[in-house]
Amino acid sequence: MKIEYLAKIRDAMGCPSETVNLPHGVTTASDLLVWLAARNGRSASAFLDRANIHVALDDRIANRGDELAGVQTVTLFPPVTGG
């Protein structure tokens, strides 16, 4: 599964995207955020404000409880600030 990081999350992670193999038990967007945050210090810092991270699954805005099964690309981004 490809994970894209946008804006300040990308800066915090130090990369625009990565490909991961999800461990057993990571089945929802919420699970993914918890797993990513627990991987290492850099991830923990990037996902410190986890409640305010938005998720898109295959380019569709998603909810935290949405299932990851069959999803190819997850996009994680902070609150928007355009306009």
Partner 1 sequence: MTVCLQSEPFDVAHELKLLVGDEVGAVASFVGHVRGTGGLVELFLEHHERLTPAGLAAVEQDTMRRWALCGLTIIHRVGALVPDDAIVLVAASSAHRADALAAVEFAIDRLKTEVPLWKRERFANGEARWVEPRDDDAERAARWG
Q: For binding to partner 1 (CB under 8 A), which residues are involved?
A: 4, 6-8, 11, 54, 56, 59, 61, 75, 77-83
What is the torsion angle, in degrees rounded to the nearest 10, for the CA atoms of residue 37, residue 32, residue 17 and residue 71?
180
Query: Which two tokens mark 28?
Result: 């929802």
Q: Which residue, 68 or 75, is less far from partner 1 as judged by CB?
A: 75
Residue type, 83: G
Find tokens 């306009």 and name the residue: 83
Q: Which residue, 21 or 81, is less far from partner 1 as judged by CB?
A: 81
33 φ, ψ to 5°?
-65, -40
